[in-house]
Chain A
Amino acid sequence: MKEEKKKEQKKKMLRDWLILAGMMGVAVVLIYLYPSKQEPVISAAFDYLSEMIFILPAVMVLMGLFSVYIPKDAVSKYLGKASGIKGFFLAILFGTLPTGPLYVAFPMASTMIKKGARITNIVVFLSAWACIKIPQEMVELQFLGPEFMLARLFLTIIFVGLMGLVIEWMIDKTGGEND
């Protein structure tokens, strides 16, 4: 199982490098055909690259720390029991901490629902996981600035809470289904 996963990852990485090589090829051909574009293309790419290089290692360190120090079963344990406004904030907090893509959170959410967690909290948890993780917010801060990042953060928290309540209400009203 683990061997297979490693192989899969290696394949994906190889694919990414090949796509990169392809993109570089396209870029070289385009610049060769339109020499006047060489300066703007290279300076734009360099600007963004240097902005990324200064924060990428720090962001990776944060993600590494979160993934090692925050056990996933603890998240399920606390969030499954929490209720009310405390549950809402715990769902946000727990959603922002762990790392990994959203599909890792689906099985966790499924287990928590089966154990009786509120639908609202699960929706909030999944949404926080998807779009307000701390390392992600750091990159957003760097590239889009504090006003943009904070405005989006607060609006997301408010609307995700409302969405959770609406989904819970709709599922309760029509009866849960398990397909």
Chain B
Amino acid sequence: MSVTAIFINLFALICFLYGVYRDKEKAVESLKKAVFSLFKILPTVLIIIVIIGLMLGFVPPSEISRFVGEQSGIFGVLLVGIVGSILHIPALVSFPLAASMLDSGATVTAVAAFITTLTMIGMVTLPLEIKKLGKKFALLRNGLSFIIAIIIALIMGVLL
């Protein structure tokens, strides 16, 4: 187990113990919820793991980096951003997917663009957002989110 994994488990344990100290019944209820959501997300996690295995095993890194690596430039970043905006997958499983892209030659910029657009922009949920918050608000938020996602990604590429 890595240091990070130990840290995450300790953090969850401390939060849980604090929860028990505050209110035992609520703590039990949150554990039940945790087990339920674990089973709910399990198939999605396994699907992504299979996809990652196939991708790393079959697609040569040179192919992947042609689209999202050094030589693809800003075009690759925009492409990944658009894909991230359209795809609708849970944020939790987007991180292992992103890590596998990094492993196979994608740039930090491309990976940051992918995660940021994936989480902040929702083409699938856009109709609901328009209905609840108005056309102007929803379109501005999604449009500007795309622009700042690309800016954040470019800065990250310079920093890391």
Contact = CB atoms under 8 A, between A and B. Distances in A.
Given A126-B141, A131-B116, A155-B155, A45 B49 contact: yes
Interface size of A as a range: 35 or more
Contact of B50 (A17, A24, A131, A174): A24
Given A144-B98, A177-B134, A156 B152 contact: yes
Contacts of B27: 65, 68
Given A143-B95, A148-B160, A174-B136, A163 B145 contact: yes
B45 A52 contact: yes
A167 B140 contact: yes
A169 to B, nearest CB: 10
Q: Determine chain B's interface SS by DSSP, over half rule.
A: helix
A2 B13 CA distance: 32
A178 B132 CA distance: 9
A131 B120 contact: yes
Interface of B: 1-2, 4-5, 7-9, 11-13, 15-16, 19, 22-23, 26-27, 29-35, 37-41, 43-47, 49-54, 56-58, 90-92, 95-96, 98-100, 102, 108, 111-112, 115-116, 119-120, 122, 125, 128-129, 132-137, 140-141, 144-145, 148, 151-152, 155-156, 159-160
